[in-house]
Amino acid sequence: MRNLSVLNTLRGFKIRLNGPALTELSRQISAAAGAERILITGERGTEKEAAARQIACLSAPDDLPPEETCLVRYLKNPEELEDISFLNAALGRYAVFGDCAFWRGAVQQKLKLLLINNQLDVKFIFLTSARLRPLVLSGGFDEELYRLMLGREIYLPALSERENFADICQELLEEIRRQYALTARSFAPETLIALSKRPWPGNIVQLKAAIYALAARAKTELISQP
């Protein structure tokens, strides 16, 4: 049986939460593992794909490498759903579809038929950065497809809802420093304060890009510019 705390240290599987919030999310992920259909919601850049990978990994045989436990596809055109080889490659595993908030009507109809007629041993995880229920009520998302997607639902909190902002910044800086062999190792207190006061609509992804830009410009081990 795979360990969630170990998975949460792997690149592509990391979800930056701590304390009770991480405990609750881990409980939801463990409970969802193995479900036929799972909907993961949260704003852009909140590490929904990492949550999907954790779920898939918990459900897979222990001898299957973590990075091979699910297949991820971001659908744009209905023709992509006619390529059955994608689902054949996902047999016995999870097929992850995102971001479903941006699916056009033709994609929605194709996917609905796929789910209704699915005869393959494939489980599905759907990612969305929008609240689908209001879209359903306004006619922007197919109600039957929405109901077909709902099995278990997991919510990833926005960066503004996470209490460990300074820890997240330091962790992202460490990842960036190792990946790009940069000099910067820490933040001046005023830099962290300035970062914490900014809006981050792109959440973790946007914050990481901003920290990379700061670290790339830093001349010393301390990032002192806001």
Residue 38 and residue 145 share a domain: yes
Q: CB of 126 within 8 A of CB of 36?
A: no
Domain with 61, as residue range(s), is 4-157
Q: CB of 154 within 8 A of CB of 32?
A: yes
Residue 168 and residue 140 share a domain: no
The size of the chain, in residues, is: 226
Residue 73 and residue 91 share a domain: yes
Residue 97 and residue 148 share a domain: yes
Number of domains in the chain: 2
Residue with tokens 């409970």: 31
Both tokens assigned to 163: 């209490």
d(CA 120, CA 103): 23
Instruction: Answer whether residue 226 shows pLDDT above 70.
Output: no
Say what the pLDDT of residue 1 is: 58
Cα angle 170-176-182, degrees, rounded to a multiple of 5: 105
23: exposed, middle or buried (Cβ count in 10 Å: 0-12, 13-18, 19+): exposed
Q: CB of 54 within 8 A of CB of 141?
A: no
Q: CB of 164 within 8 A of CB of 16?
A: yes
Tally Cβ neighbours within 10 Å of residue 158.
Answer: 16
Residue 130 and residue 20 share a domain: yes
Residue with tokens 């919030």: 21
Beta bridge partner(s), residue 35:
none
pLDDT digits (tens, 9 = 90+) for 51-76: 999 998 988 888 888 888 777 877 66
pLDDT digits (tens, 9 = 90+) for 4-48: 888 888 888 899 988 888 889 999 999 999 899 999 999 999 999
Residue 119 and residue 90 share a domain: yes
Who has greater pLDDT, 2 or 107?
107
Q: CB of 126 within 8 A of CB of 114?
A: no
Residue 106 and residue 36 share a domain: yes
What mean pLDDT is reported for the chain? 88
